[in-house]
C-alpha cells in the first residue's frame, strides 16, 4: 500500500516536531503563513529535507490523503475554511488544535458536505516529551480510520467514539485541572519565596503531589462540602498573607470564591467504591481533609 500523502497545517512547536517525525516516512507538505518558502529560518525550526514547504494552504491540502491541522485553536476555523475547496473526497481532516468542542463541531459541519472524513483530535500530553508517539484521543466520523492510518506512521491515536467535540471536551477538562494546578503552584511558590520559606515549601509541594492517590482526591472534594466554612476563613487569611507579601493573589481569591460557592451549592459527585458516583454533596462518607 502506498504511503499516504500528508498535509501539515501549522509549523509551531507541535508542527515542527510532527514534521521531524514524519519526514521520510510519507510525502509531506507543510503550510504556515508565518513560514513562507525561501524565508530565513533558524536551525531549530528549519524544515526537514524530506518535507516540502509550500506558499498556500491549497498547495498543501490538494491531493492529500491526510490533513493534520495543528494551528492554534483561534486559527482552526480559518484553516478549515481555507482548506475546504481543495480537499479531495474521502480525505481525512484531523483538527488537532486546542479549539473548543463547538469549534470542532463547526469544522465537521463545514467539511463533511465536501466529502472529508473529519476527526476531532486531542493531544493529551506535552509533544516535546514523546514526539510523534504523543497520545491523541480521536472522535468524529473519521476517528477509526485516522487511528489506523496515523498508527501506521508511528502516532499513538485512541478512538473514543462519539461526535466531533467529544475529544476536545476531554482535552479541555484536563486543561482546567493541569493548567489550574500550574497556576496554583506558581502563585504559592512565589508567596513561599517572599516569605523566606522557599526551600521548605518546595519539599512540601513535592511530597503532596507525589503522595496523591484516589483517597486524597476524594478528600479534596468531600472535605470542601464538610468543612467549607472553615476552609473559606482559612483562605481569607491566606489572601491577607499574600497581600502583605506583595504577591498577586488571583488563584487564592478564586479558591476562596469556589469554596464559598460549595458551601451553598454542594460539591460534585465522586466515584463510590465499585465505580458508581456518590452524591458528592458533602455528606459524611470518607475521611475529610483538614
Question: Do both 132 and 47 map to the same domain?
Answer: yes
Cell numbers for 8, please give them.
501539515
Radius of gyration in angstroms for the set of CA atoms belonging to the chain, rounded to a whole number: 23
Q: Which residues of the chain have pLDDT under 50?
A: 276, 278-290
Alpha carbons 110 and 129: distance in angstroms, whole number: 33
Is position 258 within any domain?
yes
- Angle at CA of residue 16, ends 55 and 58, nearest 5°: 25
* Burial class of 173 by CB neighbour count within 10 A (0 to 12, 13 to 18, 19+): exposed
Cell numbers for 133, please give them.
508517539
Is position 198 within any domain?
yes
Domain extent for 226? 170-265
Is position 174 within any domain?
yes
Residue 108: give its domain's CATH number: 3.40.50.720
Q: Which of 129, 116, 30 is nearest to 70 (CA)?
A: 30
> Of the candidates 125, 145, 163, which is a domain's last residue?
163
Among the residues of the chain, which ranges form H helices? 13-22, 57-61, 76-83, 101-111, 127-130, 143-151, 166-194, 198-210, 214-226, 228-245, 250-265
Residue 273's CB is within 10 A of a number of other CB atoms, namely 7
Is position 43 within any domain?
yes
Question: Do both 180 and 232 map to the same domain?
Answer: yes
Alpha carbons 39 and 74: distance in angstroms, whole number: 24
* CB-CB contact of 216 with 270 (8 Å): no
Alpha carbons 164 and 121: distance in angstroms, whole number: 9
Please state the pTM of the whole predicted model.
Answer: 0.85
What is the SS3 assignment for 211?
Answer: coil
* Burial class of 129 by CB neighbour count within 10 A (0 to 12, 13 to 18, 19+): exposed
Question: Do both 159 and 208 map to the same domain?
Answer: no
Is position 281 within any domain?
no
Is position 284 within any domain?
no
Question: Do both 95 and 203 map to the same domain?
Answer: no
Phi, psi of 204, deg, nearest 5: -65, -40
Q: Give the number of domains in the chain.
A: 2
Alpha carbons 125 and 71: distance in angstroms, whole number: 17
Question: Do both 174 and 261 map to the same domain?
Answer: yes
Is position 106 within any domain?
yes
> Of the candidates 163, 181, 211, which is a domain's last residue?
163
State residue 106's pLDDT score: 98
Amino acid at each position: 500500500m502506498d504511503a499516504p500523502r500528508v498535509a501539515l497545517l501549522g509549523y509551531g512547536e507541535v508542527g515542527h516536531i510532527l514534521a521531524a517525525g514524519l519526514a521520510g516516512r510519507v510525502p509531506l507538505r507543510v503550510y504556515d503563513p508565518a513560514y513562507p518558502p525561501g524565508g530565513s529560518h533558524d536551525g531549530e525550526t528549519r524544515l526537514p529535507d524530506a518535507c516540502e514547504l509550500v506558499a498556500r494552504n491549497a498547495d498543501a491540502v490538494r491531493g492529500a490523503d491526510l490533513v493534520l491541522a495543528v494551528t492554534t485553536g483561534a486559527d482552526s476555523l480559518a484553516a478549515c475554511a481555507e482548506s475546504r475547496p481543495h480537499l479531495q473526497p474521502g480525505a481525512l481532516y484531523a483538527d488537532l488544535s486546542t479549539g473548543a468542542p463547538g469549534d470542532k463541531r463547526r469544522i465537521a459541519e463545514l467539511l463533511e458536505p465536501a466529502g472529508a472524513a473529519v476527526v476531532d483530535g486531542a493531544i493529551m500530553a506535552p509533544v516535546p516529551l514523546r514526539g510523534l508517539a504523543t497520545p491523541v484521543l480521536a472522535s468524529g466520523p473519521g476517528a477509526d480510520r485516522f487511528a489506523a492510518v496515523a498508527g501506521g506512521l508511528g502516532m499513538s491515536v485512541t478512538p473514543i467514539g462519539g461526535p466531533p467535540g467529544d475529544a476536545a471536551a476531554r482535552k479541555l477538562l484536563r486543561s482546567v485541572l493541569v493548567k489550574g494546578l500550574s497556576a496554583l503552584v506558581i502563585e504559592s511558590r512565589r508567596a513561599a519565596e517572599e516569605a523566606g520559606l522557599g526551600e521548605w515549601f518546595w519539599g512540601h509541594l513535592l511530597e503532596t503531589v507525589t503522595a496523591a492517590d484516589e483517597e486524597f482526591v476524594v478528600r479534596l472534594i468531600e472535605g470542601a462540602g464538610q468543612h467549607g466554612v472553615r476552609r473559606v476563613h482559612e483562605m481569607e487569611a491566606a489572601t491577607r498573607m499574600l497581600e502583605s507579601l506583595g504577591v498577586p493573589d488571583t488563584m487564592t481569591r478564586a479558591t476562596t470564591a469556589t469554596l464559598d460557592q460549595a458551601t451553598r451549592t454542594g460539591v460534585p459527585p465522586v466515584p463510590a467504591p465499585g465505580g458508581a458516583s456518590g452524591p458528592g454533596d458533602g455528606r459524611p462518607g470518607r475521611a475529610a481533609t483538614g
